[in-house]
């Protein structure tokens, strides 16, 4: 009887493990392959040596770029080099990336920048919020941008028990923001177990000096976050759920889910067109390939376009392009054989692609039109 019970328990455990493995592979799109779409008029913008994870563009055309992310479980070809913040002036005919000097007193040696976002105050002061992972911890660094000498003045480091595994950030004031925690745990083994078991413990946190609280939860892995031009809606990308969630923002800073944009790819960072409210997303067709470096079988990337009408009458998404070009294929801080398109930015007749790689910024000109057709 005892042996039979042991066999039954082993069988149940094996069945549960097999079910979890299958579900895990499905969330990663492990079997998905995409046909590449050519990228005409695509050119490399040189100057960044260790890749770029995020881009944020000011209304005047200045683009901030975070570079050099080291992330648990992701191979890095520059593990000993600190991260950097670059600036590009998109008003120039041939823009180039220039490293921004950071004020003395800031720990540059452990700088490991992830998501970034800017906030322009009423007096035109520009604040740059940077998600940082010093020693694989999570902090938010607040800087003031000094345009006269292309420098960043470090104002403060923000730490909190609710900011445990921060991925991305969107500022809503000079010292307040929403942030995504992509995992509940910060230890790599526990993070992997969390993903494997399909635990929906990821969340969104609101932070201000007076109040810090969880405002949305139940995500597999909340990743990119952004805000609508009218400041009424927050967008959250769940990379393992293949969805973008539209959340209504309330006066007390809480969020209410109102719509879901369902996609077939792993959604990373989000960019919102400031004039139309259109949603541009950098995506990964096959998440399994992100964890296994194979220069002969690159993971590829996708850029998807979505439209959210403020009447909430419809949301639609269209694939703009996908690529397994060695210059636009995913991964964190990796040489030219392995790149990422985590964020897409748009200006007139131009898309700016951030590629987390050795060759990291690409510009596409005159290659797209409105790809969205009204669907009820």
Question: Which residues are part of a known binding site?
Answer: 53-54, 116, 167-168, 223, 268-269
Q: Is 332 one of the catalytic residues? A: no
Q: Which residues are annotated as a binding site for Ca(2+)?
A: 53-54, 116, 167-168, 223, 268-269
For residue 234, what are its two tokens? 């927050």
Cα angle for residues 282, 28, 202 (degrees, 5° grid)? 80
For residue 362, what are its two tokens? 């690409």
Query: Do residues 244 and 290 make contact, with C-beta atoms less than 8 angstroms apart?
Result: no
CB atoms within 10 A of CB 375: 10
Could you say which of 114, 154, 242, 332 is catalytic? 114
Query: Do residues 306 and 264 make contact, with C-beta atoms less than 8 angstroms apart?
Result: no
CB atoms within 10 A of CB 78: 17
How many helices and strands (H and E) does the chain possess?
2, 25
**How far is Cα 221 from Cα 142, in angstroms, rounded to an integer?**
24
Backbone angles phi, psi at 169, to 5 degrees: -150, 145
Strands 166-173 and 98-99: unpaired
Q: Which of 99, 107, 174 is nearest to 144 (CA)?
A: 174
Which regions of 4-53 does DSSP assign to beta strands (E)? 42-45
Q: Which residues contact 73 (CB under 8 A, 6 or more apart)?
A: 188, 191, 192, 291
Backbone angles phi, psi at 26, to 5 degrees: -65, -40
Active site residues: 114
């Amino acid at each position: 009887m005892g042996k039979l019970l042991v066999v039954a328990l082993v069988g149940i455990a094996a069945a549960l493990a097999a079910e979890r493995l299958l579900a895990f592979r499905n969330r990663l799109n492990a079997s998905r392959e995409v046909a590449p779409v050519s990228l005409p008029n695509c050119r490399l913008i040189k100057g960044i040596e260790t890749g770029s994870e995020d881009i944020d563009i000011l209304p005047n055309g200045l683009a901030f770029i975070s570079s050099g992310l080291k992330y648990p479980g992701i191979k890095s070809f520059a593990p000993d080099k600190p991260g950097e913040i670059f600036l590009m002036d998109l008003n120039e005919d041939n823009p180039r990336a220039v490293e921004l000097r950071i004020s003395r007193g800031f720990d540059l040696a452990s700088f490991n920048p992830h998501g970034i976002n800017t906030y322009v105050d009423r007096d035109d002061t520009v604040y740059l919020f940077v998600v940082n992972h010093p020693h694989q911890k999570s902090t938010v660094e607040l800087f003031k941008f000094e345009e006269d000498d292309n420098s960043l003045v470090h104002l403060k480091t923000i730490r909190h028990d609710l900011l445990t595994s921060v991925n991305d950030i969107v500022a809503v004031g000079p010292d307040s923001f929403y942030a995504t925690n992509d995992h509940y745990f910060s230890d790599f083994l526990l993070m992997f177990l969390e993903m494997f078991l399909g635990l929906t413990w990821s969340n969104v946190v609101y932070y201000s000096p007076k109040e810090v609280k969880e405002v949305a939860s139940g995500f597999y892995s909340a990743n990119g976050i952004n805000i609508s031009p009218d400041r009424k809606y927050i967008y959250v990308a769940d990379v393992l759920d293949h969805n973008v969630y539209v959340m209504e923002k309330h006066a007390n800073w809480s969020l209410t889910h109102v719509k879901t944009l369902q996609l077939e790819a792993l959604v990373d960072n989000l960019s919102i067109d400031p004039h139309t409210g259109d949603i541009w997303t950098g995506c990964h067709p096959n998440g399994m390939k992100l964890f296994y470096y194979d220069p002969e079988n690159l993971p590829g990337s996708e850029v998807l376009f979505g439209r959210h009408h403020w009447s909430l009458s419809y949301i639609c998404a269209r694939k703009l392009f996908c690529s397994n070009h060695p210059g636009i294929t995913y991964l964190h801080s990796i040489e030219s054989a392995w790149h990422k398109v985590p964020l897409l930015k748009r200006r007139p007749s131009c898309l700016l692609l951030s590629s987390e790689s050795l060759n990291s910024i690409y510009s596409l000109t005159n290659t797209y039109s409105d790809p969205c057709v009204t669907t009820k």
